[in-house]
Amino acid sequence: MSLNRTLVRGRDLARTAGDHAADMLGPLVVLGRGLLHHTTWVRAWWKRTPGDRRGPALLLAAAVAAAVAVLPYGLLLAAAGLAASAAWAGRDRAPAEPAPDATHLKLQAVYAALTPYLGHPDDPKPLYAHDGDHTAAFTAWEFDAEGRLTMLELRYPPYFRDSEAASRTRVEQVLQGKAGRSREYRFIWDEEINRLRTEALAPLPDDITVQRFVTGPGELVLGVTDPDGSDRTIPLNQGGTPAHQPPVVWRTGARASDAHLLALGTPRSGTSTLLRALALQALPYGDIVVIDGAGTGEHGCLVGRPGVRRVETSLHGAVAALQWAAGETARRLAALERVRLGGGALPKSVTRPLWLLLDHPTELSELAHAEGRPDPQDLLEAPLRQGRAVRVCVVVAEHLGALDRIRPVVRAAARGRVVLGSPTPEQAEAALGAPLDITPPARTPPGRGYARLGGAAPVRLQVPAAPDPLDEDAPAGQRDAVIALLPHSDTRVEAAATTTTLVKSPAQPGPGA
């Protein structure tokens, strides 16, 4: 016990002696830290002084020292002044402010990027200034677990021209660039209270293949969309598991306001996939005619199938098929008129739907112009203008850059619009017929785009995967899904190691059947 008491007392004495020593050495430590600060400053000053000025500087310092030395108590006053300056420089400083977090830095970067577009030098109380803070302009924000901006709500000055599309586009591009171009964003402008809300949209599922969708008569599924873009959900197979997704449903028929469809897209965006998906959905209920203007043979899997009237890749065949379609439209209209005058039921040849699917028809138009033949697009006038009453539907898929080469009759009659890929705001508005309040990402998977049916607002769209089953580079599961939906026939597909040949049944019906 006495030994422990002695050890404790010794420890206390040592601690007390250390505290006294620290109290005694404290002023010396402060003076030493201050002198070190002065020495560092003098050394830095000497290094940045040009060589031709060092001599005069030393002469001036020597003159000042001599003047101080001859003064009464000069050296004592100089030492006291140096000690006071060292004590002030070596004092305990307040702790440095903590570094701003990543959220503050990102928001401040967005604020600085918006300042040239939302600020004005003549504004007496600028909401956006080069030395301003984002907290005055940003009212709400959210980040995900990865630190990416998912929502931002901001105020903008009343003099900003929010009614001009060009001004809006500049701000939207800045926000997308700062938040990340790999995602889609929806911009909600509230012009009444000068507020802008930016929302990052979750990616649409891209693991849905073409299948038998649960739809009503005359309805075809263009793809899936966001929950707020559709008024219902449908059961489907998503990646091998049952799921429910909101669809984009294209309604055709005599009472449909958008009986014809125009699909535009950037290269390899999935317009041909959309045509195949529609063909596979339409075949159980009607007949189809396919015009492959690109001549790539991507629709060869449909050759000889029941319900497929013709798959044409040549100009001569396309003109013949479309001339038959125009005559078939006139025949159906005449039969419909006779039934209306005499009464009775409509014949099945009038009520059975007929779909005309044209893939890149402008290629054939240029070829027809060069050869002096009729333009295939001109032969679509009768089906487009009069086909809705007799269940004749036209679907045209074309490159987005070839929009100006599509005939005005096609653009006027095709009120259903689809644009795939990453169009610019101007291209999206020209293709859809309405401005798009969503900015596409820099890169999109095949089949990703936007749809606008009738006068409704544009919605996001993901087309179900429907690759060419003869394309060996396509995933096997997706090719099997397409093959499972093809109608059975005696068409044989012979795939060799280097070539793929379609052997068409001699009993295939022609356009006049």
Q: 272 is written with which tokens?
A: 């041909």
Q: What are the pLDDT digits (tens) for 140-191?
A: 999 988 889 999 999 999 999 999 988 998 999 999 999 988 899 999 999 9
**Encoded amino acid at 174, one letter:** V
Query: What pLDDT score does 100 carry?
Result: 56
pLDDT value, residue 418:
96
* For residue 347, pLDDT beyond 90: no
The pLDDT confidence band at residue 15, using thresholds 50, 70 and 90, is low
Q: What is the mean pLDDT of residues 400-424?
A: 93
pLDDT of 22 reads 44
User: Phi and psi (nearest 5°) for 414?
Assistant: -85, 90
> How is the chain split into domains, by residue range?
102-201, 219-503
Provide the pLDDT for residue 50: 81
On the question of pLDDT at 16 being above 70, the answer is no
3-state secondary structure 198-251: EEEECCCCCCEECCCCCCCCCEEEEEECCHHHCCCCEEEEECCEEEEECEEEEE
pLDDT at 481 over 90: yes
As a whole number, the mean pLDDT across the chain is 84
pLDDT digits (tens, 9 = 90+) for 461-477: 999 999 999 888 899 99
User: Looking at residues 32-56, what average pLDDT do you find?
Assistant: 77
- pLDDT of the residue at 92: 62
What pLDDT is recorded for position 4? 52
Structure tokens at 428: 């999206």
Please tell us whether the domain made up of 219-503 is placed in CATH 3.30.450.20.
Answer: no
Q: Options 3.30.960, 3.30.980, 3.40.50, 3.30.70; which CATH number does 102-201 get?
A: 3.30.980
Query: Which is higher by pLDDT, 489 or 359?
Result: 359
Q: With bands split at pLDDT 50, 70 and 90, how would you rate the model's confidence at 137?
A: very high
List the beta bridge partners of residue 142.
Answer: 151
Q: Where residue 24 falls among pLDDT bands split at 50, 70, 90?
A: low
Of 485, 487, 489, give the one whose Cα is nearest residue 221: 485
Tell me the mean pLDDT in the region 487-512.
41
pLDDT band at 79, cuts 50/70/90?
confident
Phi-psi region of 269 (alpha: psi -120 to 50; beta: other; left: phi over 0): alpha
pLDDT over 90 (residue 73): no
Query: Residue 446: which residues within 8 A CB-CB, separation 6 or more?
Result: 268, 269, 270, 273, 463, 465
Rounded mean pLDDT, 289-294: 92
- pLDDT for position 12: 58
Task: State pLDDT tens for residues 329-346.
Answer: 999 999 988 888 887 777
Nearest to 283 by CA among 349, 336, 212: 212
Task: Supply the pLDDT for residue 315.
Answer: 92
**Residue with more model confidence, 358 or 342:** 358
Q: Which residue has the higher pLDDT, 197 or 444?
A: 197
pLDDT at 257 over 60: yes
- CB contact set of 505 (below 8 Å; sequence gap of 6+): 304, 489, 490, 491
pLDDT tens-digit profile of 207-238?
999 999 999 888 999 999 999 889 899 999 99
